């Protein structure tokens, strides 16, 4: 056998050797590319995708001129609706009338009195404090065992009920009241409007005597004549005073009557340097 190398066979051997050396590297490169592609397709979305999912959807509006739908971005105010405020369950305050105030079981406030058209209301506690008698009442000097006599024209047919309503509203005990008519009950010739006005006077007097001396017994002596200006009705008032003295109805007498005063400024100055005033009772001349 000759000692020589076939050129063709040598070339085939070289190519086979090169292929054997290059094939593992090529296969490794392909495997790396395949792994990278697989990882890219299975990766989780980026955080930006989460923000885009939370964004509000576009608002669809109809194009009135062309009849087609157009898309417009939502306004900042429509993106999140304002929270609904709960409705106020408290109904609006309706002012009470004067009668409603005195028929309920609570002392009226200043605001309630003004709303009812009564002006400022002063309770028994207010007046007791103003006259500094709370200490006396707390010490038991509340009129117990005493009698107060009130002489007034015409009286009031609803006196007992009205004073009971006042006592209930003001937190006072029940009042002990007698209303007597020693001179009769014939008021037929009197002006009924005037009679009603005296009824309010009688009720007012009894209520505040009771407020200041809640344990005292109150007797109302009724005159059938309106006592005005110290002339008309004065004889009847004197008769009722004598009736009280004869029957020992009380040791305190209060008389309700009308007086008008005529006042004029006098040149003499008072100690405070202001002009003085002189007041005299104006008497109605007899008819």
Q: What is the pLDDT of residues 110-129, one digit of tens each?
A: 888 889 888 888 889 889 99
Q: 238 by DSSP, 3-state: which?
A: helix
Q: Is residue 58 part of a domain?
A: no
Q: For 223-245, how does the pLDDT look when each residue is reduced to its tens digit (9 = 90+)?
A: 998 877 667 788 899 999 999 99
Q: How far apart are CA 236 and CA 225, in angstroms?
A: 7
Q: Is residue 139 part of a domain?
A: yes
Output the pTM of the full model: 0.55
Range of the domain at 169: 133-260
Burial of 134: CB neighbours in 10 Å, binned 0-12, 13-18, 19+: exposed
Both 143 and 117 in one domain: the answer is no
Both 109 and 153 in one domain: the answer is no
Q: Please tell me the total count of domains within the chain.
A: 2
Q: For 51-71, how does the pLDDT look when each residue is reduced to its tens digit (9 = 90+)?
A: 444 445 444 444 444 444 455
**The 3-state secondary structure of 3-19, one letter per residue:** CCCCHHHHHHHHHHHHH
């Amino acid at each position: 056998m000759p000692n020589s190398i076939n050129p063709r066979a040598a070339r085939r051997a070289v190519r086979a050797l090169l292929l054997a050396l290059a094939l593992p590297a090529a296969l490794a490169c392909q495997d790396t590319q395949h792994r990278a592609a697989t990882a890219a397709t299975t990766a989780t979305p980026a955080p930006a995708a989460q923000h885009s999912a939370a964004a509000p959807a576009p608002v669809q509006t109809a194009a009135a001129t062309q009849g087609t739908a157009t898309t417009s971005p939502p306004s900042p105010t429509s993106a999140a609706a304002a929270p609904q405020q709960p409705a106020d369950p408290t109904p609006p305050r309706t002012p009470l009338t004067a009668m409603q105030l005195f028929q309920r079981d609570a002392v009226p406030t200043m605001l309630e009195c003004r709303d009812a058209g009564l002006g400022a209301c002063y309770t028994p506690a207010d007046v007791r404090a103003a006259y500094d008698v709370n200490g006396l009442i707390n010490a038991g000097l509340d009129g117990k065992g005493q009698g107060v006599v009130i002489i007034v024209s015409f009286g009031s047919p609803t006196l007992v009920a009205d004073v009971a309503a006042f006592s209930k509203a003001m937190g006072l005990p029940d009042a002990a009241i007698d209303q007597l008519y020693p001179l009769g009950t014939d008021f037929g010739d009197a002006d009924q409007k005037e009679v009603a006005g005296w009824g309010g006077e009688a009720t007012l007097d009894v209520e505040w005597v009771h407020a200041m001396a809640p344990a005292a017994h109150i007797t109302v002596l009724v005159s059938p004549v309106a006592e005005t200006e110290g002339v008309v009705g004065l004889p009847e008032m004197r008769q009722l005073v004598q009736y009280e003295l004869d029957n020992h109805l009380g040791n305190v007498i209060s008389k309700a009557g009308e007086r008008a005063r005529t006042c004029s400024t006098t040149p003499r100055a008072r100690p405070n340097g202001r002009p003085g005033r002189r007041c005299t009772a104006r008497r109605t001349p007899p008819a």
